[in-house]
């Protein structure tokens, strides 16, 4: 048996790239993934959108949730995905106060939220049966589910966390837990005292005998070296990097993952009303699917909309246990006074479709993370009115990146109608609204995400598992032998051509180049002594060994996909550098002849001698294992 600690990283990377190519080309059996989001629409929706993207890459998704959630999810799966996205019912234990229609956060009375979380965790026996039946090769789980990772781990299945909240609140909570006496290093993310009190109460709340905060940290810690997160570097770049540092994991932003807007018959009244309004003249008011305004809050919002004198669409929701009419929930004769200037909708409205309408000029939002990203995506300025949990953090991000303003509360956290009206007028009527719209459009440019990279992450984990199992049955030499068979016939760039691509030590890169701190192929951070190979034309750089292996399977840059087959002939003004990946393809005599050819063509060379180049390969890339200690060959 070969210990995992001595398996060469290059071998693992080469096997991974072959596996990845076979998956992408449909030459390998479909990869099965089990997804288990939290029982909220705002969590299930991005999981479903990620599933749709993975299906295009030869993945089969088993999306697991309760029956009441799956009923609505089924309607959102286009026919072309029905064979590849399988809905799996998770059965929760029965409580008298929590019948099956309440096995979702949608319309759930707030006092039953803790009961729902408890029932969700107690469904672990049912999930165990699902894992044993489906036999997935990877599990993707949500923020509060350490028990899911444990169930997967005991079956040898890699489990990866996918967070649908911001990187900002995640790193804030983790930092405060680790260093309670220190100030959070990003002063723009500040909380008012009433917000601190709410968040502290939430962190101290318990499900069973475990605090909510402890459960969340445990779930993060159990993710297999990598954490997926619904965000983009354009919005949260510095918070993503900080989170990666304090949790010692690779944080992979997956973009916004929104469902394409769908026009339905019941939405026609809203869209026809909007069609009659001028461009950017309407404010959309909605507070998400999980927060219900109190009577006092409804009155303040209503008075603000009346004071603003701005057109509005207001979506009002009530808990499923409350039977109340719209007219009773609003100030007396409110609808008559606003007339055709306002449209009040009860229950649900097509948020994406509304935000995408040209008449919408602003969004009064609770700043749920999905709503925040969706508003930025459509270039709609946000009037932030955070209500609970992560929303104050999201509101500070909105202000920090210049895509909205916040309606200020009083010192006790109460809404103020005049402040709300002032913020609405600022966005809809003043020039600042146009400036914010331009900034929103600039930020949204970075929202695209490479599905290929997400697939790369997933297959890397699967490959590590495959390679570990293989190493227990054979020697490292046998693994290399099998690898050479797999690689035959794959398209590539001639290794001796690749050897001529320029190289540089990471320590010698200019400061601007060092903004790229990790190799996209192996996902390891660069060290000063690492040798990087720089691709012509695009200039992207990677560990020399990693990119040499990649180019044995591909002919394009892993990042920008520019073809390297179309590079015009040129002289390279440095001596060829042969990594172990290239060296394994040729004997010393072949490399010697190639070096002699370079010498005879009159190229200028580096200070290393030809013999040194032949006998000493380029330094291998190292990966960072979970415990933070560097080893050669610990798989991601």
Residue 182: other Cβ atoms inside 10 A? 9
Q: Please say whether the beta carbons of 344 and 374 come within 8 A.
A: no
Give yes or no: 43 in active site.
Answer: yes
Which residue intervals of 179-221 are DSSP H helices? Answer: 193-204, 212-221
Sheet of 404-406, strand order: 342-346, 311-316, 282-286, 360-365, 382-384, 404-406
d(CA 611, CA 592): 8
Ramachandran region, residue 379 (left: φ > 0; alpha: ψ -120 to 50; beta: rest): left
Q: Helix or strand or coil: residue 380? A: coil
Q: Is 498 exposed, middle or buried (0-12, 13-18, 19+ CB in 10 A)?
A: buried
Burial pattern 143-181, b for ≥16 Cβ within 10 A else e, equals bbbbbbbebbeeeebbbbbbbbbbbbbbbbbbbbeeeee
Q: Please say whether the beta carbons of 349 and 313 come within 8 A.
A: yes
Catalytic residue among 16, 142, 467, 622: 142
Element (H, E) at 226: strand 226-229
User: What does the angle CA 408 – CA 411 – CA 415 come to, to the nearest 5 degrees?
Assistant: 45
Query: Cα dihedral angle (140, 141, 147, 150), rounded to 10 degrees?
Result: 20
Tokens for 280? 């950017």
Tokens for 157? 């299945």
Phi, psi of 481 (to 5 degrees): -65, -45
* Residue 172: DSSP 8-state: H
Catalytic residue among 16, 41, 43, 366: 43
Q: Helix or strand or coil: residue 65? A: strand
Burial pattern 521-558, b for ≥16 Cβ within 10 A else e, equals bbbbbbeeebbbbbbeeeebbbbbbbbbbbbbbbebbb
Closest CA to 173 of 112, 246, 119: 246
* Residue 260: DSSP 8-state: P
Active-site amino acid positions: 43, 142
């Amino acid at each position: 048996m070969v210990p995992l600690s001595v398996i060469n990283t290059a071998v693992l990377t080469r096997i991974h790239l072959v596996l990845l190519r076979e998956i992408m080309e449909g030459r390998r059996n479909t990869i099965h993934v089990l997804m288990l989001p939290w029982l909220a629409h705002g969590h299930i929706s991005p999981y479903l959108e990620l599933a749709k993207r993975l299906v295009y890459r030869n993945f089969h998704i088993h999306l697991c949730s309760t029956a009441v959630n799956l009923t609505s999810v089924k309607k959102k799966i286009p026919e072309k995905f029905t064979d590849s996205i399988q809905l799996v019912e998770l059965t929760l234990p029965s409580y008298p106060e929590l019948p099956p229609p309440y096995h979702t956060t949608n319309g759930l009375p707030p006092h039953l939220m803790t009961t729902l979380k408890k029932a969700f965790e107690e469904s672990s026996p049912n999930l165990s049966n699902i894992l044993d039946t489906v036999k997935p090769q990877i599990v993707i789980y949500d923020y509060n589910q350490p028990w899911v990772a444990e169930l997967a781990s005991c079956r040898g299945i890699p489990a990866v966390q996918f967070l649908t909240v911001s990187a900002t609140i995640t790193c804030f909570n983790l930092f405060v837990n680790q260093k309670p006496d220190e100030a959070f290093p990003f002063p723009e993310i500040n909380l008012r005292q009433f917000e601190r009190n709410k968040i502290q109460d939430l962190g101290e709340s318990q499900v069973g005998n475990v605090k909510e905060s402890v459960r969340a940290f445990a779930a993060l810690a159990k993710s297999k070296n990598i954490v997926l997160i619904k965000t983009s570097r354009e919005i949260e770049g510095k918070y993503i990097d900080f989170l990666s540092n304090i949790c010692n994991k690779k944080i992979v932003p997956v973009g916004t993952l929104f469902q394409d807007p769908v026009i339905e018959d019941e939405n026609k009244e809203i869209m026809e009303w909007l069609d009659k309004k001028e461009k950017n003249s309407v404010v959309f008011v909605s507070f998400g699917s999980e927060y219900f305004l109190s009577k006092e809050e409804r009155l303040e919002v209503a008075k603000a909309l009346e004071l603003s004198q701005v057109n509005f669409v207001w979506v009002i929701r009530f808990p499923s246990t409350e039977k109340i009419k719209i007219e009773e929930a609003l100030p007396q004769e409110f609808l008559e006074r606003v007339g055709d200037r306002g449209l009040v909708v009860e229950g649900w409205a097509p948020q994406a479709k509304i935000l995408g309408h040209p008449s919408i000029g602003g969004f009064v939002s609770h700043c749920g993370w999905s709503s925040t990203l969706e508003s930025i995506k459509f270039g709609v300025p946000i009037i932030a009115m955070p209500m609970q949990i992560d929303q104050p953090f999201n509101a500070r991000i909105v202000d920090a990146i210049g895509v909205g303003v916040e309606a200020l509360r009083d010192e006790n956290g109460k809404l103020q109608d005049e402040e709300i009206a002032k913020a609405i007028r600022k966005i809809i009527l003043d020039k600042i609204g146009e400036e914010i719209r331009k900034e929103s459009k600039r930020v949204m440019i970075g929202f695209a995400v490479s599905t290929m990279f997400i697939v790369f992450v997933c297959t890397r984990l699967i490959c590590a598992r495959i390679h570990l199992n293989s190493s227990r049955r054979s020697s490292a030499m046998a693994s290399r032998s099998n690898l050479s068979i797999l690689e035959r016939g794959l398209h590539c760039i001639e290794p001796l051509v690749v050897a001529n691509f320029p190289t540089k030590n990471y320590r010698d890169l200019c400061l601007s180049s060092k903004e790229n701190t990790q190799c996209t192929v192996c996902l390891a951070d660069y060290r000063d002594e690492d040798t990087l190979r720089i691709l012509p034309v695009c200039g992207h750089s990677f560990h020399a060994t990693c990119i040499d292996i990649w180019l044995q399977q591909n002919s394009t840059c892993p990042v920008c996909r520019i073809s390297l087959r179309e590079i015009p002939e040129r002289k390279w003004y440095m001596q060829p550098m042969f990594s172990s990946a290239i060296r394994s393809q040729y004997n010393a005599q072949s490399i010697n002849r190639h070096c002699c050819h370079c010498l005879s063509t009159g190229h200028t060379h580096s200070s290393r001698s030809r013999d040194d180049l032949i006998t000493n390969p380029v330094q291998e890339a190292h990966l960072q294992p979970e415990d933070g200690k560097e080893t050669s060959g610990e798989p991601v």
